[in-house]
Structure 1
Amino acid sequence: MTTATPAPRGLRARLRGLVHEVMKFGTVGLFGVVVNLAVFNLCIHALHWAPVRSGVLSTLVAIGTNYIGYRFWVYRDRDAAPVPGRSPFS
């Protein structure tokens, strides 16, 4: 007689979750590109800044926007606390 052990999750359910996460990841990335372009054009045309200064500022704003999007929307179900006994630099 064999004993049946319940399967953790089916392949289809795991793939559905992965596709959902990839779509959220892409949405945040696309939003970061839009923010980068918008801030860059605002700096160039409205503030009349140099292209390098505008590029640096727009990149920093896009990085911050993406961090917030990934941390609080895409990966909000993941624990932010470090794993005990594991080096943060490994």
Structure 2
Amino acid sequence: MKGTESRVRLEGGAPDTYCSLLLQAATVLRMRYVEAQRETCLSAVEADGLAYLFECVAHSDPAGDQVDPEEAIALAHRVIDNDHPELSPLWPKAA
């Protein structure tokens, strides 16, 4: 049953393949916006907060309960691909 392992939900959260995606996106956010400060459309504090949100959803942490996991996964794809992540409703709004 190895083929179905990736579809098993972890503690009621996102499937483990999506957990990996969310954690990878958190790493990309921190590298791109916090460490390298390559982009200016998102502050380091906002990027770190969004990365933390991805981690909460991935680990089924109560802090991520108000977030739609599918929307978080969609944003994670956009972040990794650098494909207009600002279009996501989860992306911090410009002040």
TM over 0.5: no
**Rg (Cα) greater in structure:** 1
Q: TM-score, normalised by structure 2?
A: 0.37
Q: TM-score, normalised by structure 1?
A: 0.39
